[in-house]
Amino acid sequence: MSGGYVHNIDPVFADLGGVHLWWYGLGFALGFFEIQRYLLRHHLRLGLSKREVLTLSTAIAIGVLAGGRAIEVAFDEWPFYRTNPALIPWFWLGGMATHGLLIGAAAATGLYAAVRKKPFLALADTLVIPGAFLMSVGRIGNFIDGQIVGHVTDVWWAVRFPYADGFRHPVVLYDGAKNLLLMWFLLHVRRTNPTPGAVAARFVFWYAFLRIFIDLFRDYPTHRLALGTGQTLNIVMASIGVVLLIRSRLRRMGKLKGVALAPVPLRPENDVPPHWTQQVAFYALLVFCLAIPSNWTQDIPIRYGGRHAGLTHSRLYPPINWAPPPSSP
C-alpha cells in the first residue's frame, strides 16, 4: 500500500524533572474535569450541593483509576504482576483496561448513592453523558500512544503504527467516534425519555454492542479468554445492557415493582460551596493523571526509551525484564 498515514506522534508532551506527562493521561484529566463541570451544571436538579459535586467527582475519578488498573492487572497482565506485585499501584508504568474504567465508575457512583442516600439511577443517567466524552478522549490518547492497533488493511485511511508491521485500521479512532455519537444520542434520550435509568441503560447496551463490531477490526492479543479479554467483556456488558433496557421499558410501562427514586431538587439558598481542601485534592488527582502513559505496562521503556532516556534511566522505572505485548511483531 502506498497511501495511508504514517504515525510518528510523540506520546509524551512534557518532561518535568524526569516525570513524563502523556497525552493519554491528559485524556483522563480532561474527562474527569468535564464530569465535574457537567455535574455542576445539573447539581440543583440532582439535589447536590457544589460540595457534594466535588466529592462525587473525586470518588468517580478514584473509582475509574482503580477499576481500570484492577481489570488490567487481573486479566491482561497477571503473569507480569504476579511476579512483580509491588508495582501494581505504580500507575505511571501504564496499564489500564477500558471496561475496568466503567466498572470503577459504576461502583463509585453506587457507593456514593448508598452512603449519601441519593437516587442512583438519576446520578447514572446524568453521569453516562460526560462518561461517554471521557471514553472518547481516552481513545484519542490511545491513538497518540500507538498501543492499540487494528488488522492489516489497504483502506486509504489506514495507519502505519511505529510498533506494528503494515498499514492497519485505526480501530481506537473508530471507537472514539462511536463514543462521541453515543454522547449525542444519550442527550437526545435524556430530553425525550425521562424514565429513571433509561439513559444509563442505553449507554451500557450501545457502548458494548457497537464495540463488539468495532473490535472485529482490532488485532486482539488473547490471554485467558479465546475471544480476547476486551471482546468477551463487550459481550457480557451488552447482555447486561439488554436486561437494563427491558427493566427500563417495564418501568416506563408501570409493570416493574418498586418505584425508582427521583432526586429532590436543591434550593439555591441551600447550596454549599466546596471546601478548599476538596478542590486541592481533586485538582491534584487531575495532575496525577498526566503521568499515566498507556493501556499496557511492560513495554513503556522499550517503545519510548529511544525518545526519552528518562524512561530507561530513572528510579520511576525499575530494572526488571520488560517485554512487549503479545500483539507486537
Mapped onto helix, strand or coil, the DSSP state of residue 259 is coil
Neighbours of 275 (CB within 10 A): 12
- Dist. CA 208–CA 129, nearest whole Å: 15
Using the 8-state DSSP alphabet, how is residue 8 labeled?
-
CA angle, residues 224, 230, 231, in degrees to nearest 5: 95
CA quadruple 285, 291, 295, 297: dihedral, nearest 10: -120
Q: Grid coordinates standing for 281?
A: 485534592
The answer to whether 197 and 251 are in contact (CB under 8 A) is yes
- Dist. CA 113–CA 121, nearest whole Å: 9
- Dist. CA 178–CA 171, nearest whole Å: 11
pTM over 0.75: yes
pLDDT of residue 4: 87
Please, which residues bridge with residue 218 across strands?
150
Total count of residues recorded for the chain? 329
Mapped onto helix, strand or coil, the DSSP state of residue 147 is coil
Full pLDDT tens readout for the chain, 329 residues: 556 899 999 999 998 888 899 999 999 999 999 999 999 999 999 999 999 999 999 999 999 999 999 999 998 888 888 988 988 999 988 889 999 999 999 999 999 999 999 999 999 999 999 999 999 999 999 999 888 899 999 999 999 998 889 999 999 999 999 999 999 999 999 999 788 999 999 999 999 999 999 999 998 765 545 667 788 889 999 999 999 999 988 888 877 776 667 788 999 999 999 999 999 999 999 999 999 988 777 677 777 877 887 777 667 776 666 555 554 33
